[in-house]
Amino acid sequence: PHAAENQGSAAPADILHEVFGYEQFRGAQAAIVDHVVGGGDALVLMPTGGGKSLCYQIPAIARQRAGHGVSIVVSPLIALMHDQVGALHEAGVSAAFLNSTLDWAQTQDVERRMLNGEITLLYAAPERVNTPRFLQQLDTLKQRGKLSLFAIDEAHCVSQWGHDFRPEYRSLTVLHERYAGVPRIALTATADDLTRADIVERLQLEEARQFVSSFDRPNIRYTIVEKKDATTQLLRFIQREHEGEAGVVYCQSRKRVEDTAVALQDAGINALPYHAGLDAAVRQKHQDRFLREEGIVMCATIAFGMGIDKPDVRFVGHLDMPKNIEGYYQETGRAGRDGAPADAWMTYGLQDVVNQRRMIDESPAGEEFKQVMRGKLDALLSLAEASDCRRVRLLDYFGEASTPCGNCDNCITPPQVWDGTDAARKLLSTIYRVNQHSGISFGAGHIMDILRGKPTEKVKQFGHESISTFGLGAEFSEVQLRGVLRQLIATGALAVNSEAFNTLQLTDGSRAVLKGETTVRLRESVSSPAERKPRREK
């Protein structure tokens, strides 16, 4: 009877009220808690903010009170461990962590208390779990009948298809193999079918019951606008809809992070940069300010965000497109955890498609892996190109059927759709003819100039005024043609050769479009901020 919670009731509902001060379980929590308290294995898929922590914390407390001893929580992030342990202490629960921030004396103290069964929840990094020392301690606990439960947080880290693969997670199978009979609960906020299957296989959770919650975040409004001048678009978006509010803006490169932060600061917005190239102390300071002060806009690479629990983030912006829908969902999911209205806003353009395809092509990964990555990118591209409900598309990706939401850009302002088939055929045949004519390929700008009949220096230099499609597309605006090119590239009907100045080349998929077998439907660009309806009057 060292820890205070050893004395209380072991009934989950009592723990919910007495320890956490909550009235009721949410969604699937009650069912999950019951299942795990009873010693069952579980795989929990629940969106960010859904309340995953209680799903293992309450069973850990209940089982401790029933005499089962210590629960081990595997968590990938030190910051997250600290937050959780701090919150548990405040609630009077005996919790501790083992990680690199502890000195030797502190480590020994935690280990001693753990072996005595005094700790209810012990948080440990996955790499620690695999050390001989830690495993020996678990052996001892097991022998004493005091090894109660394993909780594996952020379980998608075990999958290379997930967005945050951590090889150390692979060896967590040891928990199952060495401590058969100790219940396990794995939790994640992101998992498409592929990742989910991978988690089950890699963690040997075939027998575990799966609890899949809805992934809908109804308070998040999804908006994807065509990229023109991304920084200016972002600035207008913030000034118009989120003046003085906290937000995160994701950028692909460190330089872009820095530039964006400066641009926002120049416009009087309280913006800070965050990326892995900054000093650890600076990063920590910026993160602390973001959490503590009001209305900070964090400009960041994806290095920022995991495990950061700030409930009132009012918007998440993407200046560059993420790699896939899981990444997009995870990052946008950091908005509006408090349930109040929030925005997920992204700019998207041809260059994003080109960059993402190139990153896959140039990655050292094997061909099978690249194919999967391309498939995932395609799914995100079709979300970006969609002219129907974004939420329906997003949820569909996670295997969930839904109806148009009324709270995304396409639902609020249905985009005009135009038939770009003719433009697409003319573009492709121009590319074909130009490549034939000159024996080399050219980039998007030049091809559009030819089709629109612009006699630029370059057009004259190569004699491309003589190409039979010269001027045949004069009726199309550059924006329209760019949209068509983007969609052709997005759907694989056109390839960009990143090793030769991003020049355009036909693919096997071009033929169907050229022959008129495929129609190309495009959303009319309606992205200028003035045309959007403001969310609320200020």
Which residues contact ligand ADP (rule: CB under 6 A)? 22, 24-26, 29, 46, 48-54, 309
Which positions ≥6 away from 257 have C-beta within 8 Å? 251, 273, 274, 275, 299, 300, 301
- Binding of residue 389 to Zn ion (CB under 5 A): yes
Is the separation of the CB atoms in 329 and 215 below 8 Å?
A: yes
Listed in sequence order, the residues at least 6 apart from 392 whose beta carbon sits closer than 8 Å to its beta carbon are: 402, 403, 404, 405
Q: Max Cα separation, the chain?
A: 91
Q: Which does 49 bind (CB under 5 to 8 A by kind): ligand ADP, Zn ion, none?
A: ligand ADP
Work out which of 10, 263, 411, 472 binds Zn ion, going by CB under 5 A: 411
CB nearer to Zn ion: give 129 or 316: 316
- Return the one option of Zn ion, ligand ADP, none that residue 143 interacts with (CB less than 5 to 8 A, by type): none
Say whether 276 sits in a helix, a strand or coil: coil
Pairing of strands 147-152, 184-188: parallel
Choose the one of ligand ADP, Zn ion, none that binds residue 51, judging by a C-beta under 5 to 8 angstroms depending on kind: ligand ADP
Give me the least distance between CB of 54 and ligand ADP, in Å please.
5
Among 79-87, 344-352, 363-371, 401-409, the segment contacting Zn ion (CB under 5 A): 401-409
Asked if 523 interacts with Zn ion (CB under 5 A), we say no
328-332 long-range Cβ contacts below 8 angstroms, 24+ apart: 328/380, 328/383, 329/190, 329/215, 329/394, 329/398, 330/48, 330/163, 330/189, 330/190, 331/248, 331/250, 331/302, 331/305, 332/217, 332/220, 332/222
Q: Least distance to ligand ADP from the beta carbon of 63, Å?
A: 19
Nearer to ligand ADP, 50 or 322 (CB): 50
Distance between CA atoms of residues 203 and 224, nearest Å: 36
Cα–Cα distances in Å, from 345 out to 190, 337, 342, 363? 19, 16, 10, 28
Output the smallest distance, CB 538 to ligand ADP, in A. Answer: 28
Residue 148 touches which of ligand ADP, Zn ion, none (Cβ within 5-8 Å per kind): none
With respect to Zn ion, which residue has the nearer C-beta, 354 or 411?
411
Task: Give the interface segment with Zn ion, choosing from 302-310, 351-359, 391-399, 505-513 (CB under 5 A).
Answer: 391-399
CB 163 within 8 A of CB 323: yes
CB of 302 to ligand ADP, least distance (A): 17
Pairing of β 494-497 and β 503-506: antiparallel
Q: Which does 53 bind (CB under 5 to 8 A by kind): Zn ion, ligand ADP, none?
A: ligand ADP
**Closer of 25 and 462 to ligand ADP (Cβ):** 25
Partner from Zn ion, ligand ADP, none contacting 115, C-beta within 5 to 8 A by type: none
What's the min distance (Å) between Cβ of 84 and ligand ADP? 9
50 binds, among Zn ion, ligand ADP, none (CB under 5 to 8 A by kind): ligand ADP
Q: How many CB atoms lie within 10 A of CB 487?
A: 23
Nearer to Zn ion, 372 or 411 (CB): 411
Whether residue 141 contacts residue 122, with contact meaning beta carbons closer than 8 Å, is answered with no
User: Closest residue to ligand ADP, Cβ-based?
Assistant: 51
Nearest to 376 by CA among 193, 509, 197, 226: 193
Q: Which is nearer to ligand ADP, 49 or 183 (CB)?
A: 49
25 or 315: whose CB is closer to ligand ADP? 25
* Length of the chain, in residues: 538
Answer for the pair 62, 230: CB distance below 8 angstroms, yes or no: no
- Residue 46, contacted partner among ligand ADP, Zn ion, none, CB below 5-8 A by kind: ligand ADP
Would you count residue 372 as binding Zn ion (CB under 5 A)? no
Among 85, 246, 405, 451, binds Zn ion (CB under 5 A): 405
DSSP string for 95-128: EEEESTTS-HHHHHHHHHHHHTT--SEEEE-HHH
In this chain, which stretch among 31-39, 308-316, 340-348, 388-396 interacts with Zn ion, using CB under 5 A? Answer: 388-396
Minimum distance of ligand ADP from residue 45's CB (angstroms): 10
Residue number, 372 or 412, with CB nearest to Zn ion: 412
Rg of the chain in Å (alpha carbons): 27
C-beta of 54 vs 235, nearer to ligand ADP? 54
Q: Closest approach of Cβ 307 to ligand ADP, in Å?
A: 9
β-strand partners of 496: 504
Q: How far apart are CA 48 and CA 435, in angstroms?
A: 49
Question: Which tokens belong to 105?
Answer: 């004396």
The interface partner of residue 411, options being ligand ADP, Zn ion, none and the CB cut-off 5 to 8 Å by kind, is Zn ion
Tokens of 339: 């349930």
344 or 459: whose CB is closer to Zn ion? 344
Residue 7 touches which of ligand ADP, Zn ion, none (Cβ within 5-8 Å per kind) = none
Task: Using DSSP, state whether 536 is helix, strand or coil.
Answer: coil
Q: What is the C-alpha to C-alpha distance for residues 15 and 347, in angstroms, rounded to an integer? A: 45
408 binds, among Zn ion, ligand ADP, none (CB under 5 to 8 A by kind): Zn ion
State the residues that interact with Zn ion by CB under 5 A: 389, 391, 405, 408, 411
